[in-house]
Structure 1
Amino acid sequence: MTKQKKVILDVLKNTDTHPTADWIYEKARKTLPDISLGTVYRNLHVLKELGEISELNYGSSYSRYDGNPAAHYHFVCEACGKVLDVDLPVQTKLNDEVASQMGLKVTHHRLEFYGLCDECQTKN
């Protein structure tokens, strides 16, 4: 593992905010001032391919990254865009039900919850 990969992975493992590549870049520069945004993107791609992190894409122009690659659900705030982990067991039985009903091979699923986070509820 290169120094750049390690720093990027450390940044992701030490936050629960599901940051963008730009946010990761700003944090990584505190440790590696010469790191480029391109290097961050390349290493995020490699870490994703290695199964070390997850990439979350919600249809916007940028992805968010999760330092926890284990299967889990998320909550997305519709007001501020914050992404939070949901502490519920992943229902792998759903994979079997869909596979059985449709005659498909299901390898995994993704489920998100949407609404307002605590901070945005307080603002309203």
Structure 2
Amino acid sequence: MATVKYSRQREAIKNFLMSRKDHPTAEVVYEHVLKAFPNISLGTVYRNLSFLVDNGQAVKVPCEDGSVHFDGNVMPHYHFQCTECGAVIDLDFDGAEESRQFCTAAASNFDGQIEGNVTFFYGKCPSCAHKNEQ
């Protein structure tokens, strides 16, 4: 396996993702990293995000609205997307046992081997839900 060359830009992108809880898009990452690296291109940000995802250092979070967000938290967890403002939020929910049961149930009539699942929750975030109550 070839040695991967260290990249200050990639490290800045990774650190930015890890510092955020709001799952930024590539464009938001670009706007932030541009401050430290004025010559960086959006293409370079996309390539580095792909590298981080491919190497298990970030998670790609495709959303129903067609946008793609990125998460620096690579531990298994669930996401929620607000249908009103589009925010992507981590859910504080350990559904490991439920996930295993869901995979077992899904596999009961399937000849292949299910190794996991992705569940995405939708609705209104706390801010939008409270705004609509007023």
- Give the TM-score normalised by structure 2: 0.85
SS of the residue 1:30 aligns to: helix
Partner residue, 2:36: 31
Tell me, which stretches of 5 or more residues in structure 1 are unaligned? Answer: none
1:1-124 aligned within 5 A: 1-91=6-96, 92-93=99-100, 94-124=102-132
Deviation at 1:35, TM superposition (A): 1.1
Pairwise CA distance, 1:122: 2.3
Greater shift in the superposed pair: 88-97 or 41-50:
88-97
Report SS of the residue matched to 1:88.
Answer: coil
CA-based RMSD: 1.5
What is the CA-CA distance between 1:33 and the residue it aligns to? 1.7
**Residue type of the alignment partner of 1:115:** G
Q: Which of the two has higher C-alpha Rg?
A: 2
State the Cα deviation string for residues 95-115 of structure 1 (Å, max 9, x = none): 233223423211221111111
My pick for the range that moved more, 2-11 or 99-108, is 99-108
Cα pair distance change 1:13/1:62, threshold 3 Å: same
Q: Distance in 2 between matches of 1:59 and 1:112?
A: 9
- TM-score, normalisation: structure 1: 0.91
Q: Percent identity?
A: 36
Return the alpha-carbon distance in structure 1 between the equivalents of residues 9 and 76 of structure 2. Answer: 25
